[in-house]
A and B are shown apart, each in its own frame.
Chain A
């Protein structure tokens, strides 16, 4: 069975500083994808970044980077130069990419990030 664990219910960061949101996962699939989504108080789910299990380079998207450590089964999100608008709930998710998989996403419980001015 696939599982995502986010151990930080809430995090604070000072504006303009970097912050790391933790995510560990468990799967028996050889091929899988890891995602991070942002959910502001408005409720929409905003895709941030994707890492494939066979990607050798860590994914980066602007101020977002994914610290992928396959042997440790971790996929931490790093947000650099935090902005007030980064305050939101952040979800780590996994998708199995084997031939029998349907593409459904398995989500963690989320981390609430608050950026202080």
Chain B
């Protein structure tokens, strides 16, 4: 099976702009989670989608949003970018149905906000 793919891999934006990141999960996986990774804060959970519904949400401001499509592909949007949003954004898919199983991570999108 193909792994989790994320596009784009690298992105440079300026403050105030918005950005949309895309994630394609492993075929058959219905759960997609998003994480922000920074050197100072580590891996922080943003949100999880399962069958097009947001099932869990981390402690991030409303500028961070996401959605999932019927084919399980997911997008994450950040509006009004701030310098502190510079990070590696990781998407992970899982075959979880009602339980919790391992996360398969994509290569990430490196976002730089200038």
A and B interact: no
What residues make up the interface of A, taking CB atoms closer than 8 Å to B? none
What residues make up the interface of B, taking CB atoms closer than 8 Å to A? none
